[in-house]
Amino acid sequence: MNLLFSIDDRFYRQLITVLYSLTLNSPENKINVYVITTPEFSHAGELKRACHQLKMVFHQVIIPTDAFADAPVTDRYPKTIYYRLLAHQYLPADLHRILYLDADLLCINDLTHFYQMDLTGYMYASAIHTNLTNTTDVINKLRLQNFDADGYYNSGVLLMNLDEIRQKIKPTDIFDYIQEHILLLPDQDVLNALYGKYIRTVPDQLYNFDTRNLRVYEAISTGQWNLNWVMEHTVFLHFCGRQKPWLATTNRGKFTALYKNYFKLANRLG
């Protein structure tokens, strides 16, 4: 199993927490962890030690300082927005599949079924975050003009078919699109606008559960997707938004205490 992350120095402890949760809840024996960083990243040693303790193999993928020199970059659109979309340029050529994960999530059930799903003809598998109405999806389709896509995909959990990606993604397409459009969530907007029709949709209540919206999930499912159901079935809890659980001084949600427990135990490693 191959996992992909892209972080800076602020998030190495959160990444260790993700890896710890994976170890506890997925039985995969060999996990390769690829972490995209800049040359200035200073916590590779801690990550390598933590991976060793978790019986994972750490691979640092250093993006050269002059990478994307010709790409449009502003305060709002830093270079980091390109890393997950163009990771295939820096990953080993013999990798065919990899799972990109944001560092602000937990794995609380086995991800093997998700990782092994059929991606024939698709570049990615990803989830569309559930809403009580489809108004947001309609607005995003109008905004991005991607009417062939099922909806607006969240880029925090992306199962990647690297063979398809290498065939279809051209950096100039991404650079040109950013120069020509006003974007709200840069990398996510690009993913949806250019490649939304090549994404296999997976259920967000299983693979990208937005922890802010437990009540919404319960309402949509007429009570089925309650807290007990989530703990038994959901694979990834995603702590979206600005209020991150590792910063919380009070219990801001049902899952804050759970995250803090994983964070505390995980960071005894490294």
- The contacts of residue 113 (CB under 8 Å, 6+ apart) are none
pLDDT winner (highest mean) among 131-135, 236-240, 249-253, 265-269: 236-240
Percentage of residues in the chain having pLDDT higher than 70: 89
Token pair 């505390």: residue: 264
Q: Which two structure tokens, joined as six digits, stand for 116?
A: 């092994």
Residue 269 pLDDT exceeds 60:
yes
Of residues 210, 225, 84, the one with CA closest to residue 152: 210
Q: Count of CB atoms within 10 A of residue 52's CB?
A: 13
pLDDT at position 135 is 44
User: Residue 268's pLDDT band (boundaries 50, 70, 90)?
Assistant: confident
Kindly state the average pLDDT of the residues 7-31: 92
pLDDT at position 132 is 44
pLDDT winner (highest mean) among 141-145, 164-168, 170-174: 164-168
Of residues 129, 105, 255, the one with CA closest to residue 185: 129
Residue 212 pLDDT exceeds 80:
yes
Residue 94 pLDDT exceeds 90:
yes
pLDDT at position 41 is 93
Residue 64 pLDDT exceeds 80:
yes
Residue 24 pLDDT exceeds 90:
yes
pLDDT at position 214 is 93
Residue 148 pLDDT exceeds 80:
no
Kindly state the average pLDDT of the residues 142-159: 70
Q: Count of CB atoms within 10 A of residue 168's CB?
A: 13
Rounded Cα–Cα distance for residues 125 and 241 (Å): 22
pLDDT at position 254 is 87
pLDDT at position 147 is 45
Residues 4-13: tens digit of each pLDDT: 999 989 899 9
SS3 73: coil
Residue 72 pLDDT exceeds 80:
no
pLDDT at position 76 is 55
Residues 178-190: tens digit of each pLDDT: 888 877 777 888 8
Q: For each of the domains in the chain, give its residue range(s) and CATH number, in order of start.
A: 2-266 (3.90.550.10)
Choice between 137 and 25, residue whose per-residue pLDDT is larger: 25
Give me the DSSP letters along 120-144: TT-SEEEEBPP-SSSHHHHHHHHHH
| Average pLDDT value over all residues in the chain | 88
Sign of the torsion angle spanned by Cα atoms 2, 14, 203, 226:
positive
Percentage of residues in the chain having pLDDT higher than 90: 65
Residues 102-130: tens digit of each pLDDT: 999 999 999 999 999 999 999 999 999 86
Identify whether the C-beta of residue 118 lies closer than 8 Å to the C-beta of residue 125.
Answer: no
Q: Which two structure tokens, joined as six digits, stand for 33?
A: 């962890």
Kindly state the average pLDDT of the residues 75-100: 86
Identify whether the C-beta of residue 234 lies closer than 8 Å to the C-beta of residue 127.
Answer: no
